[in-house]
Each structure stands twice: as structure tokens, then as C-alpha cells.
Amino acid sequence: SSHECWLRASLLLLFISFLFFLFLCQTCLLMSWPALYTQLVGANRHSTSLGKIWLSVLFIFRVMVLVVAAESVWGDEQSDFTCNTLQPGCENVCYDQFFPVSHIRLWCLQLVFVSTPTLLVAMYVAYRNHKDKKRSFLSSKDQDAEMETLKKRRLPIAGALWWTYAFSLVFRLLFEGGFMYALYVVYDGFQMPRLVQCDQWPCPNLVDCFISRPTEKTIFTVFMATASSICMVLNMAELAYLIAKASERKTSSKASRERMQNKTNQKLLVSN
């Protein structure tokens, strides 16, 4: 039945999304950002203009800054974290207290989670193309030309694709906001202090610990938070645009039906 076919297709798409998520995680760990960009560009082909701007901001102002500059700034965070004590293990414990998660790894994980919802749109498009491909095999004589058309076409954002796209934007917003909140809570703000005090065991008493390049790290943290906020604004604007276009289509369709009904009524009156 159609319900069983849809269930099998959903399970298949869920499995594919899980594999793609693993690929994104591996890409992030290996810092193979060009491979990630290639995947997102392919998935973003059916997006709006705001979606293309979002992808540009994501890679130019976040991935490029993360790869080119931020990694070198945070590369010495543990080696240059010094405390005024010689007690073995004290520095490691204090570092773990104030840096439970590295900024770089948190931002990397954020990019993975933010990029993953785009796959929802790609999965739906692949599902539609698969259905149309099977239909073309049964009905079309020129199958090669039909296949090329299916590969190059851009689906209108309406119906099920509209809902899929809207859900992907909502997930993006949730992930962006969640990671920004986590960063703010874990580090007690976006400003990096020059001096922190620690009294964790095995430290003998209250010791002072010094963070390397705190001003530079603060600048990069604020910059990355600002870029994330810009992405959230773009996502909200795109979601509002989708809702406005859907409302416009609904109003236009209703007006068209009313015109057709009026014409039909006029014909009936004339005939009577």
C-alpha cells in the first residue's frame, strides 16, 4: 500500500541522514571543510536567495575564520595555561574547570549540527526525483533526456517541500540558539578573563591561573557569536519569507477559485 511505501521510504531516508551525519562528524574531525561545502552546495540548490546568502555567511565568516585564524589562536590554550603552583596535577584540574569544552571543538560541533538540517531538504528532493524517475521509466520514451531534466530541475518550494524546508530552518534556529546559550553558560559570558582563581583538589590552596592571549580570544569569541546571530537572523527572515509566500499563494488560489466560480455562475444564469 501507499502507507507502507511511505514508511519504507521514511526509514530509508532516516538511515541515509544518519550516515550523512556520521560523514559530517568525520568531516569536522578531519577539518575537510571543502568536502562539507560541496555537500551543502548540492543540498542548497533548491533553497531561496536568503538560503544561499546564509551558506555564504556560514563558510566565509565562520568556517574560514575558524580554519584560518581561530585554530591558531586557541592552539596554545592548554600549554600556555599557567598557575602559580608547582603541585602536580593542579594546572590540569584548574584547566578542566575553566575550559570543560574547547571553543574550537564546540564551534566545530555547532557547524555540524547547523549544517545537518539542510539534509532534510536534500532527502525530500532525492525522494521526489526517485519517484519521478520510476514514473519516467514507465511512461517516457526518451529516458536519457528525462533523466537529465530531473537532475537539473529546481523544485518549487510548495507542499511537502515547503514543510520540509520550514522544519529545517526551525532546527537550524534551535541548534544555533542552543549552542550560543551553551557557550555563554559554560564560559560565563563571551569575555575571556586574564586571571582565574582555582581551589580544586589537588591544589594546596587558592591559586591564580593565567590565560594566554585573553583579548584576542575575546575578539574571536564575540566575532563568532555575531556571525552566529547573523545566521539566525537570516534563518528567521527566510522562514518569514516562506510563510509570506505561502500566504500569498493561498490567497491567490482562493481568489482564482472565486473567479472561476463566478464565471460558472454567470454562464448558468445566461443559459437559464
What proportion of the chain, given as a percentage, has pLDDT over 70? 66
Residue 178 has pLDDT above 60, yes or no: yes
- The confidence score (pLDDT) of residue 180 equals 93
Per-residue pLDDT at 272: 60
Choose the most confident range, by mean pLDDT, from 72-76, 216-220, 258-262.
216-220
Q: Answer with the residue of higher pLDDT: 52 or 71.
A: 52
Conformational region of residue 128, where left means phi above 0, alpha means psi within -120 to 50, and beta covers everything else:
alpha
Give SS3 for 209.
Answer: strand
End-to-end CA distance of the chain: 47
| Residue with more model confidence, 45 or 155 | 45
The neighbour count for residue 252, using CB atoms within 10 Å, is 10
Locate 139 and state its grid cell.
511512461
Query: Does the pLDDT of residue 12 top 80, yes or no?
Result: no
239 vs 132 pLDDT, higher one: 239
Longest dimension (CA), the chain: 104
Domains, the chain, ordered by start: 31-270 (1.20.1440.80)
Q: Quick one: pLDDT band at residue 206, thresholds 50, 70, 90?
A: confident
Between 191 and 69, the more confident residue is 191
Confidence of residue 246 (pLDDT cuts 50, 70, 90): confident
Which of 20-29, 36-45, 202-211, 221-230 has the largest mean confidence? 221-230
CB contact set of 6 (below 8 Å; sequence gap of 6+): none
In the chain, count H helices and then E strands. 11, 3
pLDDT in tens, 81-133: 888 888 888 888 888 888 888 888 888 888 888 888 887 777 777 777 667 66
* Count of beta carbons in the 10 Å neighbourhood of residue 257: 10
For residue 185, give Cα distances in angstroms to 21, 194, 198, 203.
Answer: 26, 18, 18, 25
- For residue 58 the three cell numbers come to 556560514
Which amino acid appears at position 206 of this protein? L
Residue 6 has what pLDDT? 47
